[in-house]
Amino acid sequence: MAFKYVEVVSLAKIELIDVWYKDILKGINLRVNDGIVALVGPNGAGKTTILKVMVKALKPDRGSVVAPEKVGSSWQNPYYSFTKPTVLEEFLEYLGSVEEVEEFLGSYGLKHLLNRYTFKLSVGQARLVSILLAVVWGPEALVIDEPTNGLSLRERYAVSRLLRSIKIPVVIASHDLDFILMTSDYVYVVNDGHIVCEGNTLDVFYSDVLQHIGFPEPEVVRIGKELGLRLRSVDEVKS
């Protein structure tokens, strides 16, 4: 019998292998292939640090990181991404002509922001523009830190819609459970520098992992349980 030595090559777009960083990250293992992956956990758990390691802004003390050269990102304060007075000028740098910018913004339903002043946008609008800026230069993956901080309910829906229309893999760090529930496919629960649990969003949210780390149950899940229902994801329904 002939034996073949088969080398398993990681196809993951982004991968963290046993990453340690100071006293913040203590052996993080995670993989991102496609779709929208969320890092869920309390403030100070290390979510932002994990994102910074992914974009190579921080070098881990131990372990290795696999990530593409070009990773777009949008961070806690969306206004930090702005360098020009108007939204149009921001995108003109990348897209060449006013018509192309209009088309680009229009394809995400944001044509109305074309002539607005960047630093005068509301937080929600600034977040949307910041995400588009992170995407327009053609990166292979996108990383977003706390996209819903300071946003009203309506603005959160808009961000969720925007993220779901993006084709490249997205990693979100957030403590907004309802937002994660409607946006991401896969979840890593982060607490105190460790990955405590991972899995399909609904499975994780229906287990009591979140309560174990001190989070109250998402209201939608609580109501579902009270009514004796189990929420099903779109994929489950389709299959």
C-alpha dihedral sign at 209, 210, 212, 217: negative
Cβ 80 to another protein shortest distance, Å: 4
Check binding of 207 to another protein (CB under 8 A). Answer: no
Say which residues have a Cβ less than 8 Å from residue 161's Cβ, sequence separation at least 6: 109
CB 152 within 8 A of CB 179: no
For residues 92-131, which are near another protein according to CB under 8 A?
Answer: 94, 119, 122-124, 130
Cβ 177 to another protein shortest distance, Å: 7
Q: Among the candidate windows 9-17, 25-33, 159-167, 208-216, which touches another protein by CB under 8 A?
A: 208-216
Cα 86 to Cα 140: distance, rounded to the nearest angstrom:
26
Minimum CB distance to another protein smaller for 10 or for 22: 22
Minimum CB distance to another protein smaller for 216 or for 228: 216
What phi, psi does 214 have (nearest 5°)? 100, 5
Among 18, 103, 192, 219, binds another protein (CB under 8 A): 219
HSE-up (13 A, CA, CB side) for residue 76 = 8
Among 29, 86, 149, 233, binds another protein (CB under 8 A): 149
Say which residues have a Cβ less than 8 Å from residue 49's Cβ, sequence separation at least 6: 21, 24, 25, 58
Cβ 219 to another protein shortest distance, Å: 5
Binding-residue total with another protein (CB under 8 A): 48
Token pair recorded at residue 24: 């913040």
Q: Among the candidate windows 27-35, 161-169, 192-200, 207-215, which touches another protein by CB under 8 A?
A: 207-215
Cα 118 to Cα 130: distance, rounded to the nearest angstrom:
10
Among 177, 189, 190, 221, binds another protein (CB under 8 A): 177
For residues 20-79, which are near another protein according to CB under 8 A?
Answer: 41-44, 52, 55, 57, 70-77, 79
Cβ 94 to another protein shortest distance, Å: 8
Cα 135 to Cα 95: distance, rounded to the nearest angstrom:
12
Q: Which helix (H) or strand (E) holds 202?
A: helix 201-206
Pairing of strands 194-200, 170-174: unpaired
Pairing of strands 71-74, 141-145: parallel
Among 27, 63, 150, 224, binds another protein (CB under 8 A): 150
Q: What is the binding site for another protein (CB under 8 A)?
A: 41-44, 52, 55, 57, 70-77, 79-84, 94, 119, 122-124, 130, 133-134, 136-139, 143, 146, 149-150, 152-154, 175, 177, 213-216, 219, 223
